[in-house]
Structure formats: C-alpha cells, structure tokens
Amino acid sequence: MNVLMLTQFFPPELCAASNRNAAVAQQFLRSGHDVHVVTGFPNFPSGVIPKHYRGKTISRERAGEARVTRLWTFASPRRSAALRLLNWASLAGSASAYLSDPRIRADVVYVSSPPITLALPALLATALRGARLVVDIRDSYPEAAIRMGIWDAASPVARCVGSTAGMLYRRAVCVVAVTSGVRDEIVARGCDPRKVLLAPNGYDCVEPSTSPPYLRRADEFLAVFVGNFGLAAGIDVILDAAALVPADARIRIVLVGDGWEFSRVSDRVKSEGLTNVELLGARERTDALAALAAADISLVPLRAGLEDSLPTKLFDALAVGCPALVSASGEAARFVEESGGGWSVRPEDPRALAEALLAVAGAPEERARRGAAGRRYVEERYARSRSAAAIVSRVEECA
C-alpha cells in the first residue's frame, strides 16, 4: 500500500519525534509498503534552515527507500510562542497546498502530532483520496498545555484545539498513543477505545561514539541531561538543585541539547554563577548517547502535572547502562521504579533532587546494580522496532 507520512519532525532533525517517525517509516518499508514522507525543511531545534534549502519552496529527496518531500517552512532562531506557531502553521499551509495535487497517491495517511496544526493537511489528504487516517499522538493536546498552565481549559484556543483533536480521532481508523495516560485522555475525548493502540517509545539500536563530548575530570561525579530544552522538560529544577549542592561534593552537571528554553537556561547559568553546570548544546545522536554512557547518572526532569509523559531520554539512558534520576511523578516515576533502573523524586523539588544527587554520588555499587537492571529491562521490552512493528501491523489490519 501507499503510505503518506505527514510530520513536522524527520531526520536529520535531532529530537525524539524525528527518531520515532524514522523508525515507523523504516518498518513500513520492511513490510513491503511504499512510503512518501511529507515534511518541512529541517530546522529543529536551532531554528536555522541549512543553506542548500534556502530560496526553495520544495525539495525531493530519498531517505533510504523512502521518498521524502520537503516543503517551504518559516523558521527563525529567535524563540517566541508566536514564531513557533508561525513555524507550525507555515508547514501546515505548504502541506495543504502540496497535497491538493491529485497525482499524489495515498492509501493511508499517517500523521504525527504534536503539532496539532498538521490536522488540516491530514484531513484534506484523507478526504481527497478516500484514504485511511492513522494518527500518532505523542502528547495529547490541549490536555498537556492545560496541565502545564500554558492554556486555560475554557480559553478559545484550548477549545479549538480540543475540537480539532476530536475531529482527528473520529476520522481516524487507528489512533496510536505513546503512554497509557495519553490513551486514557484520547478515549475521554470520545474516541472509540477499540481504535486506540498503545505503542510506547523505546530505544534505538544505535552504537554510541567512542568518546563522550566532554572531558571527564578526576574524582568527579557526573550527572548528565540529554534532550530537548522544551517547556515540558522543567530544566529549572536542575539549576535550582545545582545551587544547593556543596562545592566540595565534586558534582558536575552537563546539559546536552537545544530548544525553546536553551537561551534562558544559558542566561541563568551565567547570571547565577553556576560553575558546576556546563551547557554543550545539541549533539549528533551517537555523541549524545556517548554522553549518557560515560555519565554516572542521567537526569530526567519533567514539569509537575505531566503525569502521562514518558520521555525517550529515559529509554536512551537505561539502554546504555546509565541509571536515571527522575524528577517527575506519574508514568516516568513508575517506569524507573518498575525497571529498577534508577531513582525518582518529586517534580519541581530542587532540594529533593540535590539530596538525591548527593546520596547517589556516594553509592557507586548501587548505581552499577541499577544501571545493569535498567539496561536488561529496556532491552527485553522496549526496543523501538517492537513498537514500530505493532503500529504497522495494526495499520495493515485497518487498511
């Protein structure tokens, strides 16, 4: 069958959504289907479009055997809510115009969300071709934004997004949820539970670089955060905890990544003189994994209220044998405890995080034990290829 994948994020962009979409696309190809990815010019997380795309409105490429059509997208290195919305809306507009071409074939339209703005071209492509719609939901909106206090539940934008999400769920033959909490929210919005497939994130079988992107100092304890500096990440709790850690504890915190909050976090580190915190910026996936593999502990913070979030960074850390210290509640806390791969403390509680860092730093044997347990747990249950295979199998049944 002809699978049209519509997504905001796709390699070479460095983020969990990009990795998930690439894995699903490859699984469709392995199962003998044609895959056509429609996405924007790469720009996440830097907001900078590579030079060879500038001045173009469309670019046709290959990612292995998959056809990739990249469309004009507004992007800016400046960070603001308005500019991010313009980035999303520009791709939705470009994709809607492109997909109106009747020569483009699709038996299945597979759309990845967030952002919810891709609902318009997804619904358009489905209607024009009589195709089956499959929706992959990584974070349920507007629920996630309401819990973080970004939107009021009664606001026009929350109601509009909720109506759009409901329309997607009703039209879809399959709705894929990454966690049980997201699945429950999809069903609560009126989606038939028989449509919903739980297909969690996981780790990719990627070999880390031979050396980490930092120099390890003698006798120091190294805590590493690797991921997107987004609103949901709650990185402020790491900085607040760093300020509480005694200087003689020899604890160094390395932050690897980029995103919405990077400039503000960098300004905080400088203005507050947090000499035990180092920012490295975004790194290629192999280098990011090497940063985790060489660390003593992986830091996985989340904003309070994000009960249904299970970050991919947690799978990545455990997959390379690095135990995790989770500052979160809900699914992330339960996961690290059930896996035996680390510790959890309350979200947005810097004192609890600082105390846990000090305790973990003094327990090397326990760290080794939990690192090994976590690695066994994810290897047995959470290879990303398993989720991708489950998604493709369900789509084949529905289509």
**pLDDT score of 346:** 95
Helices (H), the chain: 16-30, 81-99, 119-129, 143-147, 156-171, 180-188, 236-244, 262-271, 285-293, 312-319, 331-339, 350-361, 364-381, 384-398
Ranges of residues in the chain whose predicted pLDDT is under 50 = none
pLDDT value for 45: 86
CA distance 113 to 387: 17
Report the alpha-carbon distance of residue 382 to residue 390 in Å, rounded. 12
**Which tokens sit at 175?**
């709705």
What is the longest distance spanned by two Cα atoms in the chain?
67
Given the DSSP bridges, would you call strands 132-137 and 108-113 parallel, antiparallel or unpaired? parallel
Q: Please tell me the predicted confidence (pLDDT) of residue 6.
A: 97
Domains in the chain, CATH or no CATH each: 2-202+383-398 (3.40.50.2000), 221-381 (3.40.50.2000)
Query: Which pLDDT does position 38 carry in this prediction?
Result: 98
What contacts 14, CB < 8 A, 6 or more positions away? Answer: 44, 45, 258, 282, 283, 284, 285, 288
Residue 335 pLDDT: 94
Instruction: Taking each helix axis as running N to C, give the angle between helix 312-319 and helix 331-339, from 0 to 180 degrees, rounded to the nearest 10.
Output: 10
Q: Pseudo-torsion of CA 177, 180, 185, 191, nearest 10°?
A: 60
CB atoms within 10 A of CB 190: 10
Residue 385 burial (CB count, 10 A): 15
**Strand partners for 345:** 327
Whole-number Å distance between alpha carbons of 221 and 398: 51
Write down the pLDDT at residue 80: 80
CA distances from 342 to 205, 242, 252, 337 (A): 21, 19, 19, 7
Alpha-carbon distance of 341 to 304, in angstroms, equals 22
pTM listed for this prediction: 0.88
The length of the chain in residues reads 399
Question: According to the model, what pLDDT value does residue 142 have?
Answer: 78
C-alpha 178/C-alpha 308 separation (Å) is: 9
SS3 105: coil
